[in-house]
Amino acid sequence: MVDTPETSQVMSAADIDRALTRIAHEIVESQRGTTGLIILGIPRRGVPLAKRLGEKLISIDPGFDAAAHVGALDITMYRDDLRTAAARTPEPTQLPSAGIDGATVVLVDDVLFSGRTIRAALDALSDYGRPQAVRLAVLVDRGHRELPIRADHVGKNIPTSRSERVSVKISGIDEVPAAEETVVIIR
């Protein structure tokens, strides 16, 4: 991708893939395996990222049952800006049929910014059960937190100014082929 004065690429498709592979290894290392592990993507872009993390986990530990332990957690109804932002249509939530009680839940999202989405996700999660631990994996941490929240696994830390925008293009959500997935900063 050619850099223009307005946008600059910070991650290519290969960078994204390598970051997910590393995060998968980090999760297995910190968890000492994949027992009791549940991966939940936050719609929309967290969902395909969670699926891919699930595939990476299988290649590390073939015993990991991704079909049963990778899902989605919609947070639309838990947002704190419902009064000021336009209403959004909720996306499906898919949790393991056995529930999340006692499990280690890894929340997956594309960009960590203010931390408000994660705050909402923690609230949503507590309405479904009581996990033993909750971890957070993000593809990009761009800083500017407004809440005391941090990620356990970060694909890439990207220093930004508040006025910049971080745009993530992921196949399955955005209309890009897998080879052209990208993270760019728009000034």
Partner 1 sequence: MRHLLSTAELAYDDALRILDTAEEMAAVTSREVKKLPTLRGRTVVNLFYEDSTRTRVSFEAAAKRLSADVVNFSAKGSSVSKGESLKDTVQTLDAMGADAIVIRHSAAGSAAQLAASDWSEAAVVNAGDGTHEHPTQALLDALTLRRDWAAAHGQDSPRGTDLAGMKVLIVGDILHSRVARSNLWLLRTLGAEVHFAAPATLLPQGVEQWPATGHYSLDDALAAAPDAVMLLRVQAERMGGAFFPTAAEYTRRWGLTDERLSVVEKLTLGETGKPAVILHPGPMNRGVEISAAAADSPQTRITEQVANGVAVRMAVLHLLLSQSHQEESHS
The residues binding partner 1 (CB under 8 A) are 74, 76-78, 82-87, 89-93, 99, 123, 127-129
Compute the C-alpha angle 13/88/176, nearest 5°: 20
Give whichever of 21 and 93 is closer to partner 1, judged by the CB atom. Answer: 93
CB of 165 to partner 1, least distance (A): 21
Rounded-to-integer distance, Cα 91 and Cα 8, Å: 30
* Residue 89 vs 163, nearer CB to partner 1: 89
Nearer to partner 1, 32 or 83 (CB): 83
Contact, 55 vs 69, CB < 8 A? Answer: no
- Contact, 117 vs 73, CB < 8 A? no
User: Cα separation of 44 and 5, whole Å?
Assistant: 28
Whole-number minimum distance, CB 74 to partner 1, in Å? 7
Q: Is 177 exposed, middle or buried (0-12, 13-18, 19+ CB in 10 A)?
A: exposed
- Nearer Cβ to partner 1 (93/171): 93
Segment (H or E) for 22: helix 13-31
In angstroms, what is the minimal distance from the CB of 19 to partner 1? 30
Q: Which stretches of 48-181 are assigned E, i.e. beta strand? A: 70-72, 104-112, 133-141, 153-157, 165-169
Residue number, 45 or 153, with CB nearest to partner 1: 45
Least separation in angstroms between CB 108 and partner 1: 20
Q: How far is the CB of 79 from partner 1 (least distance, A)?
A: 8
Q: Coil, helix or strand for 104?
A: strand
